[in-house]
Amino acid sequence: NELAQATNYADLAVNSDRYNPAALTNKGNTVFANGDYEKAAEFYKEALRNDSSCTEALYNLGLTYKKLNRTDEALDCFLKLHAILRNSAQVLHQIANIYEIMEDANQAIEWLLQLISVVPTDPHVLSKLGKLYDHEGDKSQAFHYYYEVLAFY
């Protein structure tokens, strides 16, 4: 089993250097994969205490908070990441998605517009913009983005 093997290696790495942020992040990843999100969050936070610039730990902590329905904390993680990785499509997507979960369509649209400036030909992002504009009652913008999607099919 690959997960069991990964868990063993992660344990070895953490036991060999308890302060290594990469080892702690990998351990958090194996715990996350096993479904223990609270414990995974602890490993990611420990990695960040040892190296506050460990972007992988911060990203994974944000994903973990999303899994735990702690959207405010997840958003905080991704906004911190955005300050470090300004044009990261993954980070922009996560922020937009969290605002959508929070039912803040205007903020979701704002972040999706930033995302589309990074990945202008992503039909899923264009479609999501169309859906959000449609939901907000802006049929003209909705049509524009739905029409853009058609160019890719």
pLDDT in tens, 67-90: 999 999 999 999 999 999 999 999
The verdict on pTM exceeding 0.85 is yes
User: Are residue 95 and residue 62 in the same domain, yes or no?
Assistant: no
Q: What is the pLDDT of residue 122?
A: 95
Range of the domain at 101: 86-153
- φ, ψ for residue 85 (rounded to 5)? -115, 80
Query: Average pLDDT in the 52-61 region?
Result: 98
Say which residues have a Cβ less than 8 Å from residue 76's Cβ, sequence separation at least 6.
none
User: Are residue 104 and residue 55 in the same domain, yes or no?
Assistant: no
Query: Average pLDDT in the 109-123 region?
Result: 97
Q: Which amino acid is at 72?
A: D
CA-to-CA distance for 93 and 96, rounded, in angstroms?
Answer: 5
User: Are residue 14 and residue 52 in the same domain, yes or no?
Assistant: yes
Say which residues have a Cβ less than 8 Å from residue 53's Cβ, sequence separation at least 6.
84
Does 92 map to a domain?
Answer: yes
Condensed to tens digits (0 to 9), the pLDDT of residues 9-46 reads 888 888 888 899 999 999 999 999 999 999 999 999 99
